Structure 1
Amino acid sequence: MSVSVQNLTKAYGDQLALDGISFTAAAGEVLGFLGPNGAGKTTTMKILTCYLSQTAGTAEVCGHDVATDSLAVRRLVGYLPEHNPPVPGHVRAGVPAICRLGERHTETPRTHCRTHRADGARPRSA
């Protein structure tokens, strides 16, 4: 996966979160963002993953412009931003909601999301 960023800028009113940054990362390269809080690391990632639009400049992921071809970029990139919204309740309460994401509309979460016992037997339906 390649990334190309040229003169990328993001402004919030008079405040610049990104001020004309440029970099490239070729397929197979490892890239990390280092810097203090407020340096623009998260803003850059949100622009590259189409969660946020830039004020100026260009950004491409695998040759797809994030501003004009965001659907293609979203198909290529998986991104879990920091401070993502928590699932209401606790982990156990969130499992049925997560399971429903993949169910067929004729199935219920109870039949679609089963826990298998260590011995391979299926649990009884409640």
Structure 2
Amino acid sequence: MKKHNFIYVVSLATLLLVACSSSDDAGTSEDIIIGKWRAIEKYESNQAVDLPLCLPHIFVDYKPDNTVDGGKILSDSFPESCNQTLFDSGIIWENLGNGNYHIGTVNETGRIYNIFKEGVNLVEINPDGITKIIYEPY
């Protein structure tokens, strides 16, 4: 279950980073999702909802080699129940163009997310078109 939550988080973060590329980036291989991101807001049908308990306490790291990693953001408010969160290094991402990113493990179909930037934050739109998560740089 925790592995699936991490895959969901990573997928969501990936979507947030991809959707808003500009023509200025055409000459570089730097992708907007590359970097470390932390979830700060979640929306369902454009209505703000609470983030899942552990999501604000982990970061997702999209690497230039198309792999995904993550870790715990340790703080005084880190929930005890989040200590079991696992990070699977087998997750990969692929930029499909037009802000669409495929995120999943090598041996699975994965999911396609729409990701774009709003200012310095990433916005990830879930494949259901209803769920949106906002990430800030970490």
TM over 0.5: no
Length-normalised TM-score, structure 1: 0.23
Larger fraction in strand: 2
Does 1 or 2 have the higher relative contact order (CA < 8 Å, sep 6+)?
A: 2
Length-normalised TM-score, structure 2: 0.22
Structure whose CA Rg is larger:
1
